[in-house]
């Protein structure tokens, strides 16, 4: 995570699976407006942006890590 300025390139993880390069358009109150290379954009908090592609990829959680965090109420132990 870093402090980005308008025009900076950054990386974002989508759906905990893919890393995409984005361009920062605006920063205001802890929120960043970002634009995708293919067009379109969204507003995200700063913790979702990464300086490098490697740093973003390292933040992706594996299935094993996710199973420790969340347990469905439909999974019963007998």
Beta strands in 1-78 (DSSP E): 9-14, 18-28, 31-36, 41-45, 49-50
Q: Comparing 32 with 62, which gets the higher pLDDT?
A: 32
**Helix, coil or strand: residue 53:** helix
| Structure-block tokens of residue 49 | 């942006």
Residue 76 included in any domain: no
Residue 50 included in any domain: yes
**CATH number for the domain harbouring residue 63:** 2.30.30
pLDDT digits (tens, 9 = 90+) for 50-78: 999 999 999 887 765 555 666 677 766 65
> How much is the mean pLDDT over the chain?
86
* pLDDT at 66 (0 to 100): 55
- Please give the model's pTM, rounded to 2 decimal places: 0.75
Residue 33 included in any domain: yes
Residue 77 included in any domain: no
Residue 32 included in any domain: yes
Residue 78 included in any domain: no
Domain that holds residue 46: 9-69
């Amino acid at each position: 995570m870093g402090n980005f300025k308008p025009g900076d390139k950054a990386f974002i993880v989508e759906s905990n699976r893919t890393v995409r390069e984005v361009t920062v358009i605006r920063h205001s109150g802890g929120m960043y407006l970002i634009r995708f290379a293919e067009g379109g954009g969204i507003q995200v908090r700063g913790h979702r942006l990464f300086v490098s592609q490697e740093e973003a990829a390292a933040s992706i959680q594996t299935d094993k890590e996710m199973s420790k965090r969340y347990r469905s109420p439909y999974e019963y132990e007998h």
